Amino acid sequence: MKTTSKVGFYIALIIAFTLIVGACSGESERKYKQRSENEYKAVFGKAASEISQAGYPLARAMTAFAECKTESECSDSAQKFVIEASKYLDLLESKTATLSGLTPPVAFERLHTIYLEQMQKREEGMRLYIQCAQTLRQATCDAADKAWAEQQAMLTPFLDEIERLGTGR
C-alpha cells in the first residue's frame, strides 16, 4: 500500500470511527435524557399520589369538624382534625422538600414550579387550619380559608400544564 493510500485509509477509518462514536454518544444522551425524564416522572408521580391519598382522611376530619353541632362533638372533631391535619402537613413538607430537590426536565419545569407553589400555599393553609381548630379564632379561620382558596385556584394552571404536556403544545 502506498503512503498516500495508507493515510487516506486511516483518515477514512478515523472519520468512520468518529461518526460511530458520535452516533452512539447521541444515542446514550437520548437514553440518559429519557431515563432521567422517566425517573423524574416516577418521583414526581409518587409524591403527588401520596399527597392525594393522604387527603382522604383529612377531608373526612375536616368535614366532621365543619359540620359538628354540639360543643362536645366540636371539641372531639377539632382534636381529630388537628391530628389528621398535622399528619398531612408533615407529609406535605416532606414531599415538597423531595420535589424541591429535583431538577425537572426542561419540558416539566413549568409544571414543577406550579405544583411546588401550590403545595407551599397548601402548607400555609394547613398550618392556619390547625391554628384555627386549636384556637377557634375567626380571623385565623378566615386566613386559612383564604390560603386554601388560593391554592385551589392554582389547580387550574396545573391542570392546563398537564394538558399542554399531554398534547405537546
Residue with cell 402548607: 123
Residues 6+ apart with CB under 8 A from 123: 89, 92, 93, 96
Amino acid at 88: Y
Contact 58, 80 (CB under 8 A): no
Contact 85, 58 (CB under 8 A): yes
What is the structure's pLDDT at 33? 52
Of 91 and 166, more confident: 91
Tens digit of pLDDT for each residue in 69-114?
999 998 999 999 999 999 999 999 999 999 999 899 998 999 999 9
Rounded distance, CA 128 to CA 148, Å?
Answer: 9
What is the structure's pLDDT at 5? 53
pLDDT above 90 (res 144)? yes
DSSP state of 70: S
pTM of the model: 0.74
pLDDT above 60 (res 12)? no
State the DSSP H helix or E strand holding residue 72, giving kind and residue range, or none if neither.
helix 71-100
